[in-house]
Structure 1
């Protein structure tokens, strides 16, 4: 890696970014065990764990939970990765070493229990570290700190990541990202459709409907790439013309709720926060209720639109999921009426819709909707939206 870096022929600014990776051979020569942490002025941190000079795992960055979740979901497609199950698994997980991340402990436990193969663990760890290194390289200004720790017992380190292929692959990906004109596009941003009609004219109706559901600002480029089974570079290059034309925009998206002892999905309040779902489908309300109650919230289900406003006034929820299309009324009318009431002036209202038109989104926002979520809804996305709009105020 050091020889390759010395021959780097790209502009000096890009060379300095890639040069950050030269610390790896240094730590290998020093037989370093402990943590390497990069910090950015924006406040993000990325931590890599080393044992005897070899990197074994990493976490942190903009979306540590999303980062772990998409990799675990890919390698464990049959596993129960619901928030409540992960939290319960974490409570029983031992934390006997300085490699103290909840994410690594869950993976290590699954390996010891036979639910995860050693190759799958290595693939997950390698993908996470590769994403971290790409973000560190893309972030122009960073500082790093080293915290030396005792070498780990071999039983706690079932795998080591192959740096001889990892580091060149990160450099190659960064160079390809630059050559594709994507330097300003972070893979942690989420694409959202701004002008659907030009897109509708260029793709089939089926593809258009899929795009309207996927490109809703709730999934990052990396999330979408994994979900679609594509490389994030190719996906971003495919979307770039639409972004440049102004048909798509890239927006920041919140991380999924964090796991960890003492870090519940909701803050300590005098009463549990209450979430309401107004949807004429009992199945939608039931599914959403299971997710929301398991996360520690109170839940209110309303399946008759005509009774929504009286029920909401009586129960006073802290956030409302509101279906756009119902047989006896519609979400527009309910949202508009709620916003005229002082009690609901600032309550987050998230519109649910299976429709594919941006007109619906724009109209809903004009009437006071806080956010817009496409059906079908993934449980982890539901929790992410709740966390986004009900995050506790800083103390």
Structure 2
């Protein structure tokens, strides 16, 4: 059985496997454009893909097939045995087509983990993988009938599990656009407000892991909780603008790293947001030529994330853009205490009277009519930021008790 997710969705595929009481594995690949999935895994370049193993119509194990042990290391960390992975003898791993599973079994055989702990880890891995798969819309799949994954530790019924995860997927949508992926990493942008809101011990823990490198997904693993309640716990602080999520995929380019605030410099930082690549390049060049630290971003979703990292002194934002328009970006930034006083200038058309009214309603400071020349741009920039005077470690273990209590409290309030 094989095909694309345009023909049949993941939920239906799982139901067919359950009804047929099939034993084998399902491989799902996410792709964009006209990328296709071929039978020979050695002949294709993959974007993202997942694998789920079945025994008589029940799930035995599931993973994101990157052959990395980082996920397993995150899960065993809560049992303080992640160091044992470094001592696993690779030749003793019997499970060749699922290395992570084999390493887990080695920890069981050496009594680093108990069978109950192993089952708990596999259940968490399956839920995590199904959350990704049931959220997937574009991709291809192959189901191959084959021998069961050995040795077997546990199996999970598909029906109740899918129902539970589908509910999570639907609830996840309420976090958009503040949270778009469980792989996003939290960063504190207003520590003063957050410290006033949280107990001191909880704030210190949050301050420690909100480093732009630890994702929501990893937090869920460390806390032995599912992704949804962890996301729900930090969501109010995202709404307030005290915490922002960033992604490794939207990290600052080397050309724009000078935009990160540096107390030692007084160079005004300017962000220009426009989906027109040519316009972005022209504006960025002009501003840099006149001594400003400038970043022009042509992706509005990426821009929203980078703005919190850059903390610019001035934001110039086009209105008509895909996914997020300028009005939405301005409104979201104004809800953050970090940007309530930052000048935000909207770019409008010649006949954009209504746009200018809407811009004022969402909190824009001013507007600049398109098309504009260098002189108009520089006059506006000097008006709000002045002329530029410039020439062109992590501890081994975490204690998450206080944070888990905070998560539980917020989770209860938002049910």
| TM-score normalised by the chain length of structure 2 | 0.50
State which of 134, 139, 142 in structure 2 corresponds to 1:142: 139
Q: Give the alignment of 1:297-308 within 5 angstroms.
A: none
Contact 2:93–2:99, Cα closer than 8 Å, also in 1: no
Question: Would you say 1:53 and 2:72 are equivalent positions?
Answer: no
Computed over aligned residues only, the root mean square deviation of the Cα atoms, in angstroms, reads 3.6
* Separation in 2, partners of 1:91, 1:221: 30
**Quick one: structure 1 residues 88 and 211, their matched pair in 2 at CA, closer, same or farther if it must change by over 3 Å?**
closer
Report what 1:167 is aligned to.
162
Report what 1:5 is aligned to.
none
Moved more, 28-37 or 184-193: 28-37
Structure 2 spans left out of the alignment, 5+ residues = 33-46, 250-263, 265-308, 312-392, 399-415
Report what 2:299 is aligned to.
none
How far 1:21 sits from its partner (Å)? 1.7
**Quick one: structure 1 residues 182 and 17, their matched pair in 2 at CA, closer, same or farther if it must change by over 3 Å?**
farther
How far 1:35 sits from its partner (Å)? 2.1
How far 1:192 sits from its partner (Å)? 1.0
Report what 1:34 is aligned to.
24
* Separation in 2, partners of 1:90, 1:237: 40
* Separation in 2, partners of 1:62, 1:92: 20
1:109-129 residue CA offsets vs partner (Å, 9 max, x unmatched): 333444433333222112101
* Separation in 2, partners of 1:226, 1:151: 27
* Separation in 2, partners of 1:212, 1:161: 37
Q: Give the alignment of 1:381-392 within 5 angstroms.
A: none
**Quick one: structure 1 residues 202 and 116, their matched pair in 2 at CA, closer, same or farther if it must change by over 3 Å?**
closer
Contact 1:32–1:53, Cα closer than 8 Å, also in 2: yes
Contact 2:28–2:51, Cα closer than 8 Å, also in 1: yes
Structure 1 spans left out of the alignment, 5+ residues = 1-14, 255-331, 333-360, 364-372, 380-395
Larger radius of gyration: 2
* Separation in 2, partners of 1:17, 1:205: 52
How far 1:28 sits from its partner (Å)? 3.0
* Separation in 1, partners of 2:80, 2:123: 21
How far 1:105 sits from its partner (Å)? 0.8
Q: Report SS of the residue matched to 2:137.
A: coil
Contact 1:90–1:102, Cα closer than 8 Å, also in 2: no
- Runs of 4 or more off by more than 4 Å in structure 1? 15-19, 61-64, 179-184, 228-231
**Quick one: structure 1 residues 63 and 21, their matched pair in 2 at CA, closer, same or farther if it must change by over 3 Å?**
farther
Report what 2:395 is aligned to.
376
How far 1:46 sits from its partner (Å)? 0.8
Residues paired across the two proteins, number:
241
**Quick one: structure 1 residues 220 and 66, their matched pair in 2 at CA, closer, same or farther if it must change by over 3 Å?**
farther
Q: Report SS of the residue matched to 1:156.
A: coil
How far 1:17 sits from its partner (Å)? 12
How far 1:228 sits from its partner (Å)? 4.3
State which of 72, 91, 100 in structure 2 corresponds to 1:103: 100
Q: Give the alignment of 1:169-248 within 5 angstroms.
A: 169-179=164-174, 181=176, 184-228=179-223, 231-248=226-243
